[in-house]
A and B are shown apart, each in its own frame.
Chain A
């Protein structure tokens, strides 16, 4: 598959300014340092193993470009690993969400009740936004395995204004339209390890967009494209170098 990174993509966030990048890079450094220290205390083994949890400041969608990791060996027993783009309604006790990405599980530990997978597998998941009096509804689906080294594009976005429908896309194809009980939310991209004791969130960088310009984002490609890239594509879990956000394209054009 053709690589669709920021530099080549027609979907790149053209409204980002250079100063924004500088602030982002500074913020990343601070975040990395503090988060790294935190993770070293919580889960030393996972501190630099994978993952980015990066927030794109738009309430109606985001897209992520993920190079499928060459991840060997499989996650240790009791874990699964995901890399995905997610939109979450809120940060209360019963948030809704919709996500699209890649998953790899250990042999005995599945995600939701979609079961275990022995290869990187395309997936979506949504959860309806609940309340104190309403039920929570999880729904997961797998869409087949993916080869390490492939470059996949994932997107979740608000299908239509004023409805609670969200589309999940994989490689520019809509694979699901989900009714989630929320119309706007917080997008994020990144990786996550979950294990049978508790989810372990790992994050190595953050990436922000210019909020006002994305406020009406409701279709794929109008926001920005995000790349999570494994250096040299040689990282091996659990001892790889981590994930990085590549430099901005050069030459870099600022448009308003």
Chain B
């Protein structure tokens, strides 16, 4: 018969077993993340980050470094070392800068999905005097990612395969080319090589024309319509979309959307001003269940004169 009044024999062992369990669990985490600790459990290492950058923006190096800036306070930022010629790029080549910045934003935001402590990205020394680097370059390549909660509404990201996304994009381009007739000489698609490509997709599109003025009635279709089924709302299904319109070899207008970074950038050349509002005119159709944007307007400036202060 059991002695119910006897002191439980295993009492001392319970905390010890718990400690052992914790030890085993810690060991598992350490093995899994290479000793970086639970907070940075899935943070990619320096080599992986640089490799990712090389894929997305050849000639660029980078690493995650500690930072106290950013919306989330302490964290890490993707420190990017761009090629010397890009660092020295003046305002005459803003399209290259904007394109590089977009690629960095897309990648930084993707890294943040693996390592939530990543809060931004910044340009680092390239062996070039900081004074020699165009402020525009620094500004474009330095930024803050939104807090993780801000992207929780992007529920459809990663739900569409890269192939399905590409089919959607090609469908959009076909609609555009049908309407634009000979005004568009070529359209090329670049698919960014992002980490975990099955879930992270971004496209860079180059639309070339011999006479961009002929495309002016279709600007809404080019810069908004091509987003159909892909980006442009909380239903976005891919990580990024860049659209640059060329006249011959010269870029005249561009749009860069980095979905997870919740950013958009627009460039317009002085000889080809964009309208304040863009509206689609063509029958784009979303096969992915993604967005169906129909227009956009700038949050731009006013021409109203300010009133003088009351003295």
Contacts and interface: CB of A to CB of B under 8 A. Distances in A.
Contact of B276 (A131, A177, A198): A198
B309 A127 contact: no
Nearest to B264: A113
Interface residues of B, number: 64
A115 B291 contact: yes
Interface in B170-216: none
A144 B147 contact: yes
B contact patch SS: loop
A131 B279 CA distance: 26
Interface in A176-212: 176-179, 186, 188, 194-199, 201, 206, 208-211
B310 interface: yes
B161 to A, nearest CB: 22
B232 A209 contact: no
Given A136-B267, A175-B71, A144 B297 contact: no
Contacts of B269: 135
A211 B301 CA distance: 22
Nearest to A107: B233
B299 interface: yes
B265 A138 contact: yes
A118 B291 CA distance: 13
B136 A136 contact: no
A128 B140 CA distance: 11
Contacts of A88: 301-302
A199 B276 contact: yes
Contacts of A206: 307
B264 A108 contact: no
Contacts of A179: 135-136, 138-139
B168 interface: no
A10 to B, nearest CB: 23
Contact of B232 (A116, A131, A164): A116
B309 A209 contact: yes
A132 B270 CA distance: 6
Interface string A89-127: 001001101010001000111111111111100110101
Interface residues of A, number: 73
Nearest to A138: B266
Given A27-B310, A109-B296, A144-B146, A139 B265 contact: yes
Interface string B87-104: 000010010001000000
Nearest to B257: A113
A4 interface: no
Given A112-B298, A144-B146, A196 B266 contact: no
A140 B276 contact: no
B123 to A, nearest CB: 12
A228 B201 CA distance: 41
B299 A111 contact: yes
A91 B297 contact: no
A142 B150 contact: yes
Interface in A10-47: 20, 23-24, 27
Contact of B279 (A122, A174, A196): A196
A220 to B, nearest CB: 16
Interface in A57-98: 57, 78, 80, 82, 88, 91, 94-95, 97
Contacts of B163: none
A110 B233 contact: yes
Given A137-B266, A143-B150, A208 B233 contact: no
Contact of B234 (A118, A130, A208, A211): A118
20 contacts: A23-B310, A57-B307, A78-B295, A91-B303, A112-B264, A112-B266, A115-B232, A115-B293, A117-B234, A137-B265, A138-B265, A141-B262, A141-B264, A145-B153, A175-B144, A194-B299, A195-B297, A196-B294, A197-B277, A198-B276
Query: When A and B form their complex, which 4 residue pairs have the shortest distance between CB atoms, in order from nearest?
Result: A144-B150, A179-B139, A113-B264, A57-B309
Given A113-B232, A197-B277, 8 more contacts: A78-B295, A91-B306, A110-B295, A113-B223, A115-B233, A135-B268, A164-B135, A194-B277
